[in-house]
């Protein structure tokens, strides 16, 4: 399992534009700009290294990636609208975190560096989001959360 110090150092090396804006118990929060195409997005990544004894799910152990600015657009009339591939935070259902991988496929683990996985996936997600805004269809693949699962796919607080 990578320590939060490992994660902070890797982010500083690979993504120097991302700055630690908050440091907390075994965790950190970064902010930085991602630009998959012509548009820039202020993105926040929050992560806390879980303790083994916490026995939390991968869904709730993963880094939380949120677009801060500009706000993600909601389009209920689009394919898979109002917005595809996001999780809602259990404390505030208006807060959306990007769904960057399928936890059931174990595509990410606490042994992975956020700098080598999560940030690249966030850029890719934003690229397909921009395409979705234009075409009204999600072309990024992945397993989509169906409405019955939405309640089970809300994230707990970090």
DSSP 68: E
| Residue 133 in domain | yes
Average pLDDT over residues 135-154: 66
Residue 140 lies in a domain: yes
* Residue 158 lies inside a defined structural domain of this protein: no
pLDDT grade for 103, boundaries at 50, 70 and 90: confident
Residue 1's pLDDT is 87
Whether the pLDDT of residue 144 is over 90: the answer is no
pLDDT value at residue 119: 98
Structural domain includes residue 50: yes
Q: CA–CA distance from 86 to each of 4, 89, 150 (Å)?
A: 25, 10, 10
Considering the domain boundaries, does residue 61 fall inside one? yes
List the domain range (segments joined by +) for residue 140.
Answer: 4-153
- Is residue 117 a contact partner of residue 8, using CB atoms and an 8 Å limit? no
Give CA–CA dist 9/94, Å, rounded: 32
Average pLDDT on 115-127 reads: 97
pLDDT at 73: 93
**Residue 134 Ramachandran class (φ > 0 left, ψ -120 to 50 alpha, else beta):** alpha
> 10 Å Cβ neighbour count for 5?
11
What is the pTM assigned to this prediction?
0.86
CA 15 to each of CA 73, 103, 106: distance values in angstroms, whole numbers, following the listed order: 26, 24, 24
pLDDT for position 61? 74
User: How many domains does the chain divide into?
Assistant: 1
**CA distance readout (Å), 25 to 1, 31, 135:** 16, 18, 42
* C-alpha torsion sign, points 13, 15, 19, 25: negative
Residue 43 has what pLDDT? 98
The count of residues in the chain is 158
């Amino acid at each position: 399992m990578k320590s939060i110090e490992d994660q902070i150092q890797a982010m500083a090396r690979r993504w120097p534009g991302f700055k630690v804006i908050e440091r907390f118990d075994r965790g950190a929060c970064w902010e930085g700009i991602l630009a998959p195409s012509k548009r820039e997005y202020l993105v926040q990544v929050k992560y806390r290294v879980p303790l083994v004894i916490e026995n939390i799910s991968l869904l709730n152990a993963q880094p939380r990636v949120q677009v801060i600015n500009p706000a993600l657009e909601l389009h209920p009339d689009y394919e898979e609208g109002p917005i595809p591939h996001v999780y809602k935070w259990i404390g505030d259902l208006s807060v959306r975190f990007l769904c960057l991988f399928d936890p059931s496929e174990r595509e990410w683990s606490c042994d992975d560096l956020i700098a080598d996985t999560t940030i690249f996936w966030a850029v890719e997600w934003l690229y397909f989001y921009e395409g979705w805004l234009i075409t009204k269809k999600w072309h990024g693949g992945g397993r989509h959360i169906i409405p019955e699962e939405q309640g089970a796919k809300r994230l707990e607080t970090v």
